[in-house]
Structure formats: C-alpha cells, structure tokens
Amino acid sequence: MPIRPYQRPLAFVGGEPLEYEPPIPARANRPQAAAVKLSGIQKQFGDNRVLRGVDLQVPAGQFLAIVGKSGCGKSTLLRLLVGLDSQTSGEISFKNGAGAEIVPNARIVFQEPRLLPWFTVSENVEVGLGDGVPKNLARRQAEAVQAEVQLREKAGEWPARLSGGQRQRVVLARALVSRPGLLALDEPLGALDALTRISMQQLLTRVWRELGFTAVLVTHDVTEAVHLADRVIVLDEGRIKLDLAIPQAHPRRHGDPDLAALEGKLLSAILGES
C-alpha cells in the first residue's frame, strides 16, 4: 500500500484549486521547518515507471534543487512531497528540528500564477490562509508578508495591473502567509524575463534565509539551481544520478567561476557526459 504524507490535499498556490488545509496559527515569526525523508519511492502510471526507488533525505531548513531532462520525474517527485499525488510504493515522512514526526504545513508554487482577478493583491494573499481566519487577523498577516516580498504599496491593486514579476511575488506571498515549514517550487520563475528572474531569485533567497523554511525547487535552469540551492540533485530516468552540495555562502554572485564549475558538473550529468 502506498503511504501518503497527507490525509487530504493542501492549499494550492498558483495551480488548480484544491481543498484547503486549516492554517497553522502564527505563534512565531519563523516557521517550523520540516525535515523530509523519502525511502524507496516508486511512482508508476500504467506501464510507465516514472520514479524507480528514490531515497532522499532533506534536512530541516535546507534549500534543495532538482534538475534533469524533461520527463525524468522532477515534477512528479515534487507533487508526491506535498501530497498532490500518491506514490506507488515507498514511504515519505516528515520530522521537525527535534526529530519528532509531524504533518508539515506545506505549500506549493507553480509557474502560472492564476491569481483571482476579482480579488485585490491583499485579498489574493489572504486566500493562502484558507477559511476560518478572522478578517482582521488575515489582513494583518497578509500585510506582513506583502512587506517581505516588497508588495506593500500594491495591496489594493488588481492582478491585471501588475507586471509578471509582481504577479509572481503575489503568488509567493500567498504561499508564505501561513508560514510554511516546507515550500515546494515548480519552475516558479520560468515565464519571467532574464532580469526579472534574477531579481526574483534574489528575493526568494532573502525570504528563505529570513524565514528558515525547507525549500524544494524544480527547475530546468542549472544556473538558477546553483545560485539558489544548498544542494542540487540530478534525476535521470526516475533515479538520482548526482547529489551535489553547493558550499558557497549566500548571497551569491552571478558569474562566480566556482559556481560556473558546479554548473558544468550538473550539465555533464544531465547530458550523460559523466
């Protein structure tokens, strides 16, 4: 029997509408980061074995990036992590910093924002809290996270009046408003132009360092992976082919030759040159 990490789907952020998990009370400014363990994870769609026995441990608070060719299982693995799909076999477990088993407060950000056009920026952010939160509390929490992603002055704007980068910041704020312990990111910056993408990478790094959640990013861009992550894994035909630490301290500089050398290792693994 497959073992699911959640009993019901968690809130969407920028993807298809799903049932909301009740928000975790914001008792502290920093979330309780979730450590993740995958043991023997397999996922099969009919005769297609997408994941073939993935074993992976992600310490609490780490930023992990997953790269690989299209169809290698990156997004499938991400969906399993946040409970949007169930594995065919294997186990996924989560622990807090003290080693106790937890059900993480997890959120996911997709590439397509899909903001609600009849809601203002602030109201779209409040959606991330789900139902049952008093309006005054929801507004205060939304205002706080809008400041973190530099959107305070856009609180009353409609999504149609925002740039692509601003819309993606709203999506990020909607994910962060409930202080997730695990934030999954599925190509969240893929549709942005080059300069906006770099700006968003800097913003994401700053917010992750300040809030301390565990982050798992799926991307096709190895430059983005080494710029953001503590560690990058390469998936190939449903298995982990390379697990590479990125030891450079944050903030990182684009064009750093040490990072370029790490990019080369990742590209060689993806292209089958190593």
> Residue 210: enclosing H or E segment and its boundaries?
helix 194-211
The pLDDT tens digits for 10-53 are 444 444 333 333 333 333 455 689 999 999 999 999 889 999 99
Q: Provide the mean pLDDT of the chain.
A: 85
Q: Which of 180, 5, 11 is nearest to 81 (CA)?
A: 5
Q: Answer whether 190's CB lies under 8 Å from 219's CB.
A: yes
| Mean predicted confidence (pLDDT) in 87-105 | 89
For residue 249, is pLDDT > 70?
yes
Distance of alpha carbon 56 from alpha carbon 73, whole angstroms: 14
pLDDT at 232: 97
| Predicted confidence (pLDDT) at residue 60 exceeds the cutoff of 80 | yes
Position of tokens 């996911």? 108
Evaluate if residue 76 carries a pLDDT over 50.
yes
Distance CA 85, CA 75 (A): 11
Q: In what order do the strands lie in the sheet with 48-58?
A: 48-58, 35-45, 89-95
**H or E element at residue 184:** strand 182-186
Tokens 């996270």, residue located: 145
Q: CA 75 to CA 82: how far, in whole Å?
A: 11
pLDDT at residue 243 in the model: 96
Q: What is the mean pLDDT of residues 66-76?
A: 92
Band of the pLDDT at 58, cuts 50, 70, 90? very high
Confirm if 10 and 30 have CB atoms less than 8 A apart.
Answer: no
Please say whether the beta carbons of 146 and 155 come within 8 A. yes
**What pTM does this model have?**
0.85
Pair 166, 154: CB distance under 8 Å: yes
Does residue 246 contact residue 184 with C-beta atoms inside 8 Å?
no
* Averaged pLDDT, 219-245: 95
> pLDDT tens, 116-166?
999 999 999 999 988 888 888 888 989 999 988 888 899 999 999 999 999
Cβ–Cβ < 8 Å for 214, 34 = yes
Neighbours of 27 (CB within 10 A): 7
CA distances from 235 to 110, 194, 240, 254 (A): 19, 25, 5, 24
Report all structural domains of the chain as residue ranges with CATH numbers, in order of start. Answer: 35-271 (3.40.50.300)
Helix axes 194-211, 164-176, angle to 10 degrees: 20
State the average pLDDT over residues 75-101.
91
- CA 210 vs CA 60, 113, 132, 214: distances in Å: 14, 23, 27, 12
In the predicted structure, residue 92 carries a pLDDT above the cut 50: yes
Q: Which two tokens stand for residue 10?
A: 């968690």
Highest mean pLDDT among 90-104, 195-209, 232-246: 232-246
Residue 8 has pLDDT above 50, yes or no: no
